[in-house]
Amino acid sequence: MRILVIGSGAREHALLLALSKDESVNELHVAPGGDGMSDLAVCHPEWQGAAIDVEDGAQITALAQALEADLVVVGPEIPLVAGVGDALREAGIAVFGPSKAAAMIEGSKAFAKDVMQAAGVATATATRIESADHIESVLDNYGPHYVIKDDGLAGGKGVVVTTHRAEAEAHARSVIAAGNPVLVESFLDGPEVSLFCFVDGETVVPLLPAQDHKRAFDHDEGPNTGGMGAYAPLPWLPEDATERIVREVCEPVAREMVARDCPYSGLLYAGLAWGADGPAVVEFNCRFGDPETQAVLALLKTPLAEVLAATAEGRLAQLPPLQWHEGAAVTVVLAAEGYPAVPRRGDVIHGLGAVDYRGESYVLHAGTKRNDSGEFEAAGGRVLNAVARGSDIEQARAKAYELIESLELAGGHYRSDIAAKAQQGEISI
């Protein structure tokens, strides 16, 4: 199988690694990719003299046709919401990733709320604001916890959760000033859970639940980021939690999407709060989450390519159950100085040796490039991921932190408490 992956971050690096271990795959390509992925796939930073634009369906389709790709796997949400999947399907190319219409489950939080209401799925109450004139009156109906969301794509950084009304109001005004509506939501109590599901129409196959750490600094302090680390599975969840989420959340949404004539095909990511009454949806995403993917795929034993192809080709229901490694996996993000505000680029990363992907700990590249001396340097906010698998969370954490502590990046920072609460049994529901 010849596969083209779209994207350039650590999520795509993790996908390439998992695909490279599948014996049915004989050729891997990635566009635009990155220098840190070139040992797994042929990178295509440009096509026919033009830089790759992941939102350009015609360009991506032409590249896939030239490569004679059997399957295209779209990593980020932006090309999916832009309709790149539709362009590929119209050309007869198998695509892992939803249509433009179905991707609105992430592209518009208001659309997602409407789907959930129709499907009878538990979620926060919400009010949509399109004019700054209405902000104060709407906020009067919420609190003491305010949840203010950009009703569009914000890469995980468009949400402010605060007990300070002035901060909530300021974020709402900034979102509207930028041209997007605002969603004000009630606060959902309970620890957060990320559950990825392969979805093919009404067929839903869950992966392992994971938990992301969004805040920039230890103890969940600082601004929201795209994610500073993650772990899987979640030892504190009830044994029937995944089954409940599929039954109460993902399957009803899948059925509702079919009823709306925009059936879902691809990866549906449910972000949930697990409260006293069980799961309630915080938001949906239309793709693999970053950095949870890095931890979840480290535990997957089932060859990935066949599952992605079966989903794309409408035969997911025919596959046997997914198989998993025992134990746990942890990923820790090394971020550049200034992230998530204005990350500093160009600093050289020291300590990167030859990568042995056969081991239980390894580095994935999120935002790097090689300089003229052949050294890797920071080229984005989230720079590297240290990923490790162990017999339990304690061992996986130890391996991940041993690895990340061996790296040096001037001004770089990472959280020291990824999965610590789970290891110490401090999360309770």
Give me the CATH number covering residue 43.
3.40.50.20
Residues 90 and 159 in one domain: no
Q: Between these two residues, 109 and 222, which has the higher pLDDT value?
A: 222
As for how many domains the chain has, the answer is 2
> How high is the pLDDT of residue 427?
86
Q: Which of 143, 163, 185 is the last residue of a domain?
A: 185
Q: Which residues contact 45 (CB under 8 A, 6 or more apart)?
A: 31, 32, 33, 51, 52
- Residue 187 has a pLDDT of 85
- Rounded Cα distance between 40 and 53, Å, is 21
Which amino acid is residue 373, in one-letter code?
S
The pLDDT, as a whole number, for residue 154 is 61
Write the secondary structure of the chain as one string of H (helix), E (strand) and C (coil). Answer: CEEEEEECCHHHHHHHHHHHCCCCCCEEEEEECCHHHCCCCEECCEECCEECCCCCHHHHHHHHHHHCCCEEEECCHHHHHHCHHHHHHHCCCCEECCCCCCCHHHHCHHHHHHHHHHHCCCECCEEEECCHHHHHHHHCCCCCCEEEEECCCCCCCCEEEECCHHHHHHHHHHHHHCCCCEEEECCCCCCEEEEEEEEECCEEEECCCEEECCEEEHHHEEEECCCCEEEECCCCCCCCHHHHHHHHHHHHHHHHHHHCCCCCEEEEEEEEEEECCEEEEEEEECCCCCCHHHHHHHHECCCHHHHHHHHHCCCHHHCCCCCECCCEEEEEEEECCCCCCCCCCCCEEECCCCCCCCCCEEEEECCEEECCCCCEEECCCEEEEEEEEECCHHHHHHHHHHHHCCCEECCCECCCCCCHHHHCCCCCC
pLDDT at 8: 97
Q: Does one domain contain both 55 and 139?
A: no
In this structure, the answer to whether residues 80 and 129 fall within a common structural domain is: no
d(Cα 220, Cα 229) in Å, to the nearest integer?
Answer: 12
pLDDT digits (tens, 9 = 90+) for 115-126: 999 999 999 888
249 lies in some domain: no
Residue written as tokens 């790097």? 368
Both 86 and 12 in a single domain? yes
Choose the final residue of a domain: 185, 218, 233: 185
Same-domain check for residues 86 and 129: no
The domain boundary, picked from 185, 216, 234, lies at 185
Domain that holds residue 132: 125-185
Show the tokens assigned to 397.
């954490």
Mean of per-residue pLDDT scores for the chain: 95
CATH of the domain at 151: 3.30.1490.20
81 inside domain: yes
> Do 87 and 146 fall within a single domain?
no
Q: Please say if the pLDDT value at position 156 is more than 70.
A: no
355-369: average pLDDT? 93
Q: What is the average pLDDT across 140-157?
A: 78
- Dump pLDDT digits (tens) for 16-40: 999 999 999 999 999 999 999 999 9
Does 355 fall in a domain?
no
> Which pLDDT value is given to residue 396?
98
Q: What is the pLDDT of residues 304-359, one digit of tens each?
A: 999 999 999 999 999 999 999 999 999 999 999 999 999 999 999 999 987 888 88
Cα-Cα-Cα-Cα dihedral sign, residues 113, 150, 58, 291: negative
Please list, in sequence order, all residues whose beta carbon lies within 8 angstroms of the beta carbon of residue 249, skipping any fewer than 6 positions away: 121, 122, 270, 272, 279, 281
Residue 151 counted as domain residue: yes
Query: Do 80 and 160 belong together in one domain?
Result: no
Confidence of residue 155 (pLDDT cuts 50, 70, 90): low
**Residue 415 is assigned to a structural domain of this protein:** no
> Mind listing the pLDDT tens digit for each residue in 165-186?
999 999 999 999 988 889 888 8
**Domain for residue 201, yes or no?**
no
**378 occurs within a structural domain:** no
pLDDT value of position 152? 72
How far, in Å, CA of 204 to CA of 10, rounded?
Answer: 25
80 and 134 both lie in a single domain: no
pLDDT digits (tens, 9 = 90+) for 101-141: 999 999 998 899 999 999 999 998 888 899 898 899 889 88
Beta-carbon contacts of residue 99 (< 8 Å; ≥ 6 apart): 83, 85, 86, 89, 262, 265
Residue of 153 and 20 predicted with greater confidence: 20
Q: What is the mean pLDDT of residues 368-374?
A: 96
pLDDT at 53 (0 to 100): 98
Q: Which residue has the higher pLDDT, 213 or 355?
A: 213
Are residues 91 and 143 part of one domain?
no
Domain-located, residue 353: no
Residue 159 pLDDT exceeds 90: no
Whether the CB-CB separation of 371 and 377 falls below 8 Å is answered with yes
> Quick one: pLDDT at residue 157?
55
What's the whole-number mean pLDDT along residues 217-236? 96
> How confident is residue 151, by pLDDT bands cut at 50, 70 and 90?
confident
pLDDT at 283: 93
CA distances from residue 217 to 154, 383, 413, 417, 428 in whole angstroms, order as listed: 20, 16, 9, 9, 22
CA distance 12 to 15: 5
* CA 112 to each of CA 3, 117, 126, 159: distance values in angstroms, whole numbers, following the listed order: 30, 9, 11, 16
pLDDT at residue 193 in the model: 97
The band of 368, judged by pLDDT with boundaries at 50, 70 and 90, is: very high
Residue-wise pLDDT tens digits, 68-93: 999 999 999 999 999 999 999 999 99
Q: Which of 151, 143, 141 is nearest to 182 (CA)?
A: 151
Q: What percent of the chain has pLDDT over 70?
A: 99
Express each pLDDT in 266-281 by its tens digit: 999 999 999 988 999 9
Residues 6+ positions from 220 with CB-CB distance below 8 Å: 213, 214
